Amino acid sequence: MGVLPPIVSAAWLLEHLDDVVVCDVRSTMAGAAPFDAYLERHVVGARFVSLDDALATPPRGTDGRHPLPTPEDFAESLGALGIGNDDVVIAYDDRGGAFAGRMVWMLRMIGQPAALLDGGSSAWTGPVERGTVHAERVDRRAVAWPAARIVDADEVVAHIAAGGVVVDSRERARFLGETEPIDRVAGHIPGAINLPFAENLTDDVFQPVDRLAERFGALRADPQAIVYCGSGVTACHNALAVEAAGFPPPRVYVGSWSGWTADPDRPIATGPTP
């Protein structure tokens, strides 16, 4: 199979379907509707992975709306789904990888081969099924989150002060401070630039590698770049796109805007300038 890139095509998955574990990570970040959609139709053999239950813990102040689970809890959640440490995981959703990217990033961060299905559920024309996939539980060892791949708010501040690149992955209107539908305050981290994750895609399919490399050109000179979003979920989409473009994987500020604004002493910028 070789070295697994962060993004694979539906044709690749069809060829390797018997050699990987497929995960359906559809989410609205709330409610049970994604699971209902999974029950109606999913890639054959796909296990449903809940963003809130398996890939995050409950909101926690400056840790943001989607803090990382402990390595032990993550191992327990995946073990219950029959996903071992050595399995190759392909994850998808119905939003171009907006949610599934979190799982892929988490796994790649701890050294497990994982990739996004390019185009998600809409790109899949292979075998599908209904109902729940019942996989046998496996013992899975916990692997610590590598400190070099994640940062906190103070490290974001220090990186900006040193002239480093920090990328806000949210849509432009939220970065500008024109609207904020989720978090308590609108705006962005002073010094951050805006590269919305959704612009990695055209009709839910990732842009060609050369276009991604051009899009993330500002990161070329900063192998320690940082990405963030609203709660550390869609920032992972940008992180995977950066890696696909051939650059070093950026670090992720998991607390993101929700964690930043939970501290009233943190400065806030609005408008088009960093």
Three-state DSSP class for 45? coil
The C-alpha atoms of residue 250 and residue 243 are separated, in whole angstroms, by 8
d(CA 90, CA 21): 6
Among 229, 236, 240, 262, the one annotated catalytic: 229
Whether the Cβ atoms of residue 32 and residue 114 lie closer than 8 Å to each other: no
The CATH number of the structural domain formed by 147-260 is 3.40.250.10
User: What does the domain layout of the chain look like in residue ranges?
Assistant: 7-129, 147-260
The two tokens of residue 87 are 């399995």
pLDDT tens, the chain, 274 aa long: 678 999 999 999 999 999 999 999 998 765 557 999 999 999 999 999 999 999 999 999 999 999 999 999 999 999 999 999 999 999 999 999 999 999 999 999 999 999 999 999 999 999 999 999 989 999 999 999 999 999 999 999 999 999 999 999 999 999 999 999 999 899 999 999 999 999 999 999 999 999 999 999 999 999 999 999 999 999 999 999 999 999 999 999 999 999 999 999 999 999 998 8
* Same topology between domain 7-129 and domain 147-260: yes
Task: Look at residue 179 in the predicted model and tell me its pLDDT.
Answer: 95
What pLDDT, on a 0 to 100 scale, did the predictor assign at position 43? 98
Closest to 198 (Cα-Cα) out of 166, 175, 178, 179: 175
Q: Is 17 exposed, middle or buried (0-12, 13-18, 19+ CB in 10 A)?
A: middle
Determine the pLDDT at residue 193.
Answer: 98
Residue 229: active-site member: yes
pLDDT score at 152: 98
Provide CATH code, domain 7-129: 3.40.250.10
- pLDDT (0 to 100) of residue 274: 81
Strand residue runs (E) in the chain:
7-8, 21-24, 42-43, 47-48, 89-92, 114-117, 128-129, 150-151, 166-168, 193-194, 201-202, 205-206, 226-228, 251-253
DSSP 3-state of 131: coil
The per-residue pLDDT for 32 is 53
